[in-house]
Amino acid sequence: MTVKQGFAPVVNADTRLLICGSLPGDRSLAEARYYAHPQNRFWHLLGGAADLPGLPALPYDERLAALLARGIGLWDVAASGRREGSLDTALREVERADLRGLAARLPLLRAIAFNGGTAARLGRKAMRGAGDIALIDLPSSSPAYCAITPAEKQARWMVLRPWLEG
């Protein structure tokens, strides 16, 4: 199995909400950008929750700038891991990212949302006992997660709205 490395966090001093996936998939790694697979609904789901309907159509750098302007950061709970393909079920030998350390460096951070079950399991373990930061489990934006409809995914991602208010 191939060792895959995650990306640096996309955050700034104004980050109030951090959204964490597990580890970038092959397409994202190849393009060196978060949520690059065209069937991944991340940008649509977050655009709906953050009231940024045009988010998916923006160039990647502008998407990141729009998130940072709204106090939203991105990262992954795994710094690296062995995995063939992109599915979280194939993830082995995970080296955890220093989620707690990053949270301590973000003075306005109020919540961490986990994009999918693997991210939630690893992220909640990392943040156990870390204080007053809310931890939010979201259904995965991955096309591989089809246990609920896209409309239900969007409805469940709307739980982020209170964390986006200044």
Active site residues: 40
Higher pLDDT, 64 or 91: 64
Predicted pLDDT of residue 89: 67
Q: Which of 118, 113, 53 is nearest to 83 (CA)?
A: 118
Q: Which of 3, 6, 28 is nearest to 92 (CA)?
A: 3
Which tens digits make up the pLDDT trace of 12-62?
999 999 999 999 999 999 999 999 999 999 999 999 999 999 999 999 999
78-82 sheet: strands from edge to edge: 3-5, 78-82, 92-96
Which tens digits make up the pLDDT trace of 66-107?
999 999 999 999 998 878 776 666 667 888 999 999 999 999
pTM for the structure as a whole: 0.94
Predicted pLDDT of residue 94: 80
CA distance 41 to 127: 26
Residues 6+ positions from 118 with CB-CB distance below 8 Å: 22, 77, 88, 91
Q: Which of 15, 22, 8, 7 is nearest to 115 (CA)?
A: 22
CA distance 99 to 83: 21
Predicted pLDDT of residue 166: 61
Predicted pLDDT of residue 97: 95
CA distance 48 to 150: 12
Q: Which domains does the chain have, with CATH numbers?
A: 3-164 (3.40.470.10)
* Cα four-point dihedral sign 9, 87, 2, 124: positive
Q: Is residue 131 pLDDT above 90, yes or no?
A: no
